[in-house]
Structure 1
Amino acid sequence: MPHTPVLYVLNGPNLNLLGTREPDVYGRDTLADVEALCRTAAEGAEVVFRQSSEEGRLIDWLHEAGEKADAVVFNPAAYSHTSIALHDAIKALAIPVVECHLSNVAAREAFRHHSYVSPVAAGVVSGVGPFSYDLAVRAALRLARARAARS
Protein backbone atom coordinates (compact mmCIF):
# COMPACT_ATOMS: atom_id res chain seq x y z
CA MET A 1 0.00 0.00 0.00
CA PRO A 2 1.49 3.40 -0.96
CA HIS A 3 2.31 5.88 1.77
CA THR A 4 -0.12 8.79 2.13
CA PRO A 5 2.00 11.86 2.84
CA VAL A 6 1.28 13.81 6.01
CA LEU A 7 1.62 17.59 5.85
CA TYR A 8 1.42 19.92 8.82
CA VAL A 9 0.26 23.47 8.07
CA LEU A 10 1.07 25.61 11.09
CA ASN A 11 -0.05 29.20 11.53
CA GLY A 12 1.24 31.72 14.04
CA PRO A 13 -0.12 34.70 15.95
CA ASN A 14 -3.11 36.70 14.79
CA LEU A 15 -3.80 34.50 11.77
CA ASN A 16 -7.05 33.48 13.47
CA LEU A 17 -8.17 37.04 12.64
CA LEU A 18 -7.82 36.63 8.87
CA GLY A 19 -10.70 38.17 7.00
CA THR A 20 -11.14 41.00 9.49
CA ARG A 21 -7.59 42.08 10.46
CA GLU A 22 -6.07 44.61 8.05
CA PRO A 23 -7.88 43.27 4.97
CA ASP A 24 -5.92 45.70 2.78
CA VAL A 25 -2.76 43.77 3.77
CA TYR A 26 -4.02 40.23 4.38
CA GLY A 27 -7.17 40.08 2.26
CA ARG A 28 -10.68 39.01 3.14
CA ASP A 29 -10.20 35.24 3.14
CA THR A 30 -10.59 33.65 6.57
CA LEU A 31 -8.31 31.05 8.08
CA ALA A 32 -11.02 28.47 7.27
CA ASP A 33 -10.78 29.56 3.61
CA VAL A 34 -7.01 29.11 3.72
CA GLU A 35 -7.44 25.66 5.28
CA ALA A 36 -9.81 24.60 2.49
CA LEU A 37 -7.34 25.87 -0.12
CA CYS A 38 -4.52 23.87 1.52
CA ARG A 39 -6.58 20.67 1.60
CA THR A 40 -7.36 21.08 -2.10
CA ALA A 41 -3.73 21.82 -3.00
CA ALA A 42 -2.57 18.78 -1.01
CA GLU A 43 -4.29 16.47 -3.52
CA GLY A 44 -4.97 13.57 -1.16
CA ALA A 45 -2.19 14.11 1.36
CA GLU A 46 -3.29 14.12 4.98
CA VAL A 47 -3.32 17.72 6.21
CA VAL A 48 -2.97 18.65 9.89
CA PHE A 49 -3.94 22.34 10.01
CA ARG A 50 -3.40 24.35 13.21
CA GLN A 51 -3.11 27.92 14.47
CA SER A 52 -1.76 29.31 17.72
CA SER A 53 -0.61 32.65 18.98
CA GLU A 54 1.60 30.88 21.54
CA GLU A 55 5.24 30.41 20.54
CA GLY A 56 5.74 27.36 22.76
CA ARG A 57 2.74 25.57 21.28
CA LEU A 58 4.10 26.20 17.75
CA ILE A 59 7.44 24.71 18.84
CA ASP A 60 5.68 21.65 20.28
CA TRP A 61 3.79 21.19 17.00
CA LEU A 62 7.03 21.46 15.02
CA HIS A 63 8.53 18.73 17.23
CA GLU A 64 5.40 16.61 16.70
CA ALA A 65 5.61 17.16 12.94
CA GLY A 66 9.21 15.95 13.02
CA GLU A 67 7.92 12.61 14.31
CA LYS A 68 4.65 12.30 12.36
CA ALA A 69 4.83 14.36 9.16
CA ASP A 70 6.61 14.30 5.85
CA ALA A 71 6.74 18.11 5.54
CA VAL A 72 5.55 21.36 7.09
CA VAL A 73 4.14 24.59 5.70
CA PHE A 74 4.69 27.24 8.35
CA ASN A 75 3.43 30.79 8.56
CA PRO A 76 5.13 31.97 11.74
CA ALA A 77 3.67 35.46 11.20
CA ALA A 78 5.37 38.05 13.42
CA TYR A 79 7.43 35.34 15.14
CA SER A 80 9.42 35.14 11.89
CA HIS A 81 11.17 38.32 12.91
CA THR A 82 11.69 37.58 16.60
CA SER A 83 12.00 33.89 17.37
CA ILE A 84 15.34 32.19 17.63
CA ALA A 85 13.47 29.36 19.39
CA LEU A 86 11.42 28.66 16.23
CA HIS A 87 14.64 28.81 14.20
CA ASP A 88 16.18 26.18 16.46
CA ALA A 89 13.08 23.95 16.39
CA ILE A 90 13.02 23.97 12.58
CA LYS A 91 16.77 23.41 12.36
CA ALA A 92 16.34 20.23 14.42
CA LEU A 93 13.87 18.72 11.93
CA ALA A 94 14.85 16.22 9.25
CA ILE A 95 11.77 17.04 7.13
CA PRO A 96 11.34 20.03 4.81
CA VAL A 97 9.71 23.18 6.17
CA VAL A 98 8.42 25.79 3.75
CA GLU A 99 7.96 29.26 5.24
CA CYS A 100 4.79 30.96 4.02
CA HIS A 101 3.46 34.51 4.26
CA LEU A 102 0.35 36.09 2.79
CA SER A 103 1.94 39.51 2.38
CA ASN A 104 5.21 40.49 0.76
CA VAL A 105 7.19 41.02 3.94
CA ALA A 106 10.10 42.53 1.99
CA ALA A 107 7.83 45.38 0.90
CA ARG A 108 6.63 46.16 4.42
CA GLU A 109 8.18 47.77 7.51
CA ALA A 110 11.94 47.41 7.87
CA PHE A 111 11.63 45.22 10.98
CA ARG A 112 9.83 42.62 8.86
CA HIS A 113 12.72 42.32 6.38
CA HIS A 114 14.64 39.84 8.56
CA SER A 115 13.36 36.35 9.26
CA TYR A 116 14.93 33.93 11.73
CA VAL A 117 12.95 31.17 10.00
CA SER A 118 14.07 31.69 6.39
CA PRO A 119 17.69 30.51 6.86
CA VAL A 120 16.52 27.11 8.13
CA ALA A 121 13.50 26.72 5.83
CA ALA A 122 13.70 24.64 2.67
CA GLY A 123 12.02 27.52 0.85
CA VAL A 124 9.94 30.65 1.28
CA VAL A 125 6.71 31.65 -0.46
CA SER A 126 5.27 35.10 0.22
CA GLY A 127 3.37 38.00 -1.16
CA VAL A 128 0.59 36.39 -3.18
CA GLY A 129 -2.14 36.23 -0.55
CA PRO A 130 -3.78 32.86 0.03
CA PHE A 131 -2.11 31.59 -3.15
CA SER A 132 1.12 31.64 -1.10
CA TYR A 133 -0.30 28.66 0.81
CA ASP A 134 -1.25 26.84 -2.39
CA LEU A 135 2.30 27.18 -3.70
CA ALA A 136 3.86 26.33 -0.32
CA VAL A 137 1.76 23.15 0.05
CA ARG A 138 2.71 21.97 -3.43
CA ALA A 139 6.39 22.77 -2.82
CA ALA A 140 6.49 21.08 0.59
CA LEU A 141 4.92 17.90 -0.76
CA ARG A 142 7.27 17.86 -3.75
CA LEU A 143 10.26 18.26 -1.42
CA ALA A 144 8.91 15.45 0.80
CA ARG A 145 8.52 13.13 -2.19
CA ALA A 146 12.05 13.91 -3.38
CA ARG A 147 13.38 13.22 0.12
CA ALA A 148 11.52 9.89 0.25
CA ALA A 149 12.87 8.89 -3.18
CA ARG A 150 16.43 9.43 -1.92
CA SER A 151 15.84 7.27 1.14
Structure 2
Amino acid sequence: MAGTILVLNGPNLNLLGTREPDIYGHATLADVEALCRAEAEGFGLSVDFRQTNAEHEMVEWIQQGRCGLAGIVINPAAFSYAAYPVLDALKLVEGPVVEVHISNIHRRDEAWRKDTIMTAAATGVISGLGIAGYGLAVRYIAELVRSRP
Protein backbone atom coordinates (compact mmCIF):
# COMPACT_ATOMS: atom_id res chain seq x y z
CA MET A 1 0.00 0.00 0.00
CA ALA A 2 2.90 2.43 0.60
CA GLY A 3 3.22 2.65 -3.16
CA THR A 4 -0.43 3.60 -3.62
CA ILE A 5 -1.98 7.04 -3.91
CA LEU A 6 -5.66 7.16 -3.02
CA VAL A 7 -7.52 9.61 -5.27
CA LEU A 8 -10.96 10.50 -3.93
CA ASN A 9 -13.70 12.44 -5.67
CA GLY A 10 -16.82 13.84 -4.07
CA PRO A 11 -20.38 14.53 -5.18
CA ASN A 12 -21.32 15.17 -8.79
CA LEU A 13 -17.82 14.59 -10.11
CA ASN A 14 -19.17 11.46 -11.79
CA LEU A 15 -20.84 13.93 -14.17
CA LEU A 16 -17.63 15.63 -15.29
CA GLY A 17 -17.69 16.34 -18.99
CA THR A 18 -21.40 17.09 -19.01
CA ARG A 19 -21.84 19.07 -15.78
CA GLU A 20 -21.32 22.79 -16.35
CA PRO A 21 -18.56 22.36 -18.94
CA ASP A 22 -18.05 26.13 -19.02
CA ILE A 23 -16.76 25.82 -15.43
CA TYR A 24 -15.38 22.28 -15.22
CA GLY A 25 -14.39 21.62 -18.84
CA HIS A 26 -15.17 18.69 -21.10
CA ALA A 27 -12.85 16.08 -19.56
CA THR A 28 -14.58 13.15 -17.91
CA LEU A 29 -13.79 11.46 -14.64
CA ALA A 30 -12.32 8.61 -16.69
CA ASP A 31 -9.94 11.17 -18.22
CA VAL A 32 -8.94 12.32 -14.73
CA GLU A 33 -8.32 8.72 -13.67
CA ALA A 34 -6.15 8.05 -16.74
CA LEU A 35 -4.14 11.21 -16.02
CA CYS A 36 -3.56 10.21 -12.39
CA ARG A 37 -2.58 6.65 -13.30
CA ALA A 38 -0.13 7.80 -15.97
CA GLU A 39 1.51 10.28 -13.59
CA ALA A 40 1.80 7.74 -10.77
CA GLU A 41 3.10 4.96 -13.02
CA GLY A 42 5.92 7.26 -14.12
CA PHE A 43 7.13 7.07 -10.52
CA GLY A 44 6.44 3.35 -10.06
CA LEU A 45 3.35 4.02 -7.96
CA SER A 46 -0.24 2.90 -8.31
CA VAL A 47 -3.53 4.73 -7.92
CA ASP A 48 -6.70 3.67 -6.14
CA PHE A 49 -9.29 5.95 -7.80
CA ARG A 50 -12.79 6.40 -6.36
CA GLN A 51 -15.85 8.66 -6.54
CA THR A 52 -18.88 8.89 -4.29
CA ASN A 53 -21.93 11.04 -3.74
CA ALA A 54 -22.29 9.64 -0.20
CA GLU A 55 -20.52 11.33 2.71
CA HIS A 56 -20.42 8.18 4.85
CA GLU A 57 -18.68 6.28 2.05
CA MET A 58 -16.03 9.00 1.71
CA VAL A 59 -15.41 8.83 5.48
CA GLU A 60 -15.01 5.04 5.32
CA TRP A 61 -12.50 5.25 2.46
CA ILE A 62 -10.44 7.89 4.25
CA GLN A 63 -10.43 5.87 7.46
CA GLN A 64 -9.31 2.76 5.57
CA GLY A 65 -6.47 4.73 3.95
CA ARG A 66 -5.38 6.79 6.94
CA CYS A 67 -2.07 4.91 7.24
CA GLY A 68 0.16 2.94 4.93
CA LEU A 69 -0.54 4.89 1.73
CA ALA A 70 1.82 7.17 -0.15
CA GLY A 71 -0.83 9.86 0.28
CA ILE A 72 -4.32 11.02 -0.59
CA VAL A 73 -5.49 13.35 -3.33
CA ILE A 74 -9.02 14.53 -2.69
CA ASN A 75 -11.45 16.67 -4.62
CA PRO A 76 -14.10 16.94 -1.92
CA ALA A 77 -16.42 18.92 -4.23
CA ALA A 78 -19.52 19.95 -2.26
CA PHE A 79 -18.23 18.09 0.80
CA SER A 80 -15.80 21.03 1.05
CA TYR A 81 -18.27 23.28 2.77
CA ALA A 82 -20.12 21.36 5.47
CA ALA A 83 -18.91 17.73 5.66
CA TYR A 84 -17.28 17.82 9.08
CA PRO A 85 -17.10 14.01 9.31
CA VAL A 86 -14.94 14.03 6.15
CA LEU A 87 -12.74 16.74 7.66
CA ASP A 88 -12.37 14.78 10.90
CA ALA A 89 -11.39 11.66 8.95
CA LEU A 90 -8.80 13.60 6.94
CA LYS A 91 -7.25 14.86 10.17
CA LEU A 92 -6.44 11.20 11.03
CA VAL A 93 -4.43 10.62 7.85
CA GLU A 94 -0.74 10.05 8.56
CA GLY A 95 0.56 10.88 5.08
CA PRO A 96 0.19 13.91 2.84
CA VAL A 97 -3.26 15.05 1.75
CA VAL A 98 -3.60 17.27 -1.30
CA GLU A 99 -6.94 19.00 -1.84
CA VAL A 100 -7.78 19.61 -5.50
CA HIS A 101 -10.47 21.77 -7.10
CA ILE A 102 -10.89 21.88 -10.86
CA SER A 103 -12.23 25.43 -10.85
CA ASN A 104 -10.69 28.32 -8.97
CA ILE A 105 -13.03 28.32 -5.98
CA HIS A 106 -11.79 31.77 -4.97
CA ARG A 107 -13.06 33.32 -8.21
CA ARG A 108 -16.48 31.68 -8.20
CA ASP A 109 -19.57 33.88 -7.89
CA GLU A 110 -21.02 32.04 -4.90
CA ALA A 111 -19.31 33.34 -1.76
CA TRP A 112 -19.71 30.03 0.08
CA ARG A 113 -17.50 28.23 -2.47
CA LYS A 114 -14.45 30.18 -1.32
CA ASP A 115 -14.39 28.69 2.18
CA THR A 116 -13.47 25.02 2.08
CA ILE A 117 -13.19 23.49 5.54
CA MET A 118 -11.03 20.64 4.20
CA THR A 119 -8.03 22.96 3.92
CA ALA A 120 -7.58 22.60 7.69
CA ALA A 121 -6.49 18.98 7.12
CA ALA A 122 -4.69 19.40 3.79
CA THR A 123 -0.96 19.46 3.28
CA GLY A 124 -1.60 21.67 0.28
CA VAL A 125 -4.35 22.89 -2.06
CA ILE A 126 -4.47 23.11 -5.85
CA SER A 127 -7.35 25.16 -7.23
CA GLY A 128 -8.24 26.42 -10.67
CA LEU A 129 -5.86 24.46 -12.87
CA GLY A 130 -8.50 22.20 -14.37
CA ILE A 131 -7.88 18.47 -14.28
CA ALA A 132 -4.14 19.17 -14.53
CA GLY A 133 -4.34 19.90 -10.80
CA TYR A 134 -4.84 16.19 -10.16
CA GLY A 135 -1.65 15.32 -12.02
CA LEU A 136 0.27 17.94 -10.07
CA ALA A 137 -1.09 16.56 -6.79
CA VAL A 138 -0.08 13.01 -7.71
CA ARG A 139 3.37 14.25 -8.77
CA TYR A 140 3.81 16.09 -5.45
CA ILE A 141 3.06 12.94 -3.45
CA ALA A 142 5.27 10.85 -5.73
CA GLU A 143 8.16 13.28 -5.25
CA LEU A 144 7.71 13.00 -1.47
CA VAL A 145 7.83 9.22 -1.69
CA ARG A 146 10.95 9.35 -3.86
CA SER A 147 12.73 11.69 -1.42
CA ARG A 148 12.11 9.47 1.62
CA PRO A 149 15.14 7.53 2.85
**Conserved? CA contact 2:13–2:29, under 8 Å:** yes
Partner Cα separation in structure 2 for residue 72 and residue 136 of structure 1: 9
Q: Which residue of 2 aligns with 1:70?
A: 70
Q: Distance in 1 between matches of 2:145 and 2:98?
A: 11
| Structure 2 equivalent of residue 139 of structure 1 | 140
Runs of 4+ more than 4 Å apart: none
Question: Could you tell me how far apart the structure 2 residues matched to 1:127 and 1:10 are?
Answer: 18
* 2:93 aligned partner: 93
CA distance in 1, matches of 2:145, 2:11: 26
Q: Which amino acid aligns with 1:103?
A: S
Question: 1:116 is matched with which residue?
Answer: 117
Question: Percent of aligned pairs with the same residue?
Answer: 47
- Structure-2 change in CA distance of 1:107 and 1:70 (3 Å): same
The match for 2:12 is 14
Asked if the contact 1:4–1:46 (Cα under 8 Å) also holds between the matched residues in 2, the reply is: no
Note if 1:128 corresponds to 2:126. Answer: no
| Distance in 1 of aligned mates of 2:60 and 2:130 | 27
The match for 1:45 is 45
1:35 equivalent in structure 2: 33
Q: TM-score, normalised by structure 2?
A: 0.92
- Secondary structure of 1:117's match? helix
Per the alignment, in what secondary structure is the counterpart of residue 143 of structure 1?
helix
Aligned residue pairs, count? 146
1:19-78 C-alpha deviation (Å, 9 max, x unpaired): 000000000000000000001111231100000000110111111111442200000001
Distance 1:55 1:93 in 2: 17
Residue 143 of structure 1 and its aligned partner are, at CA, apart by 3.2
| Unpaired stretches in structure 1, ≥5 consecutive residues | none
Report the AA paired with residue 4 of structure 2.
V
Question: Structure 2 regions of 5+ residues with no counterpart?
Answer: none
Pair 86,4 (structure 1): closer, same or farther in 2 beyond 3 Å: closer
Amino acid at match of 1:80: S
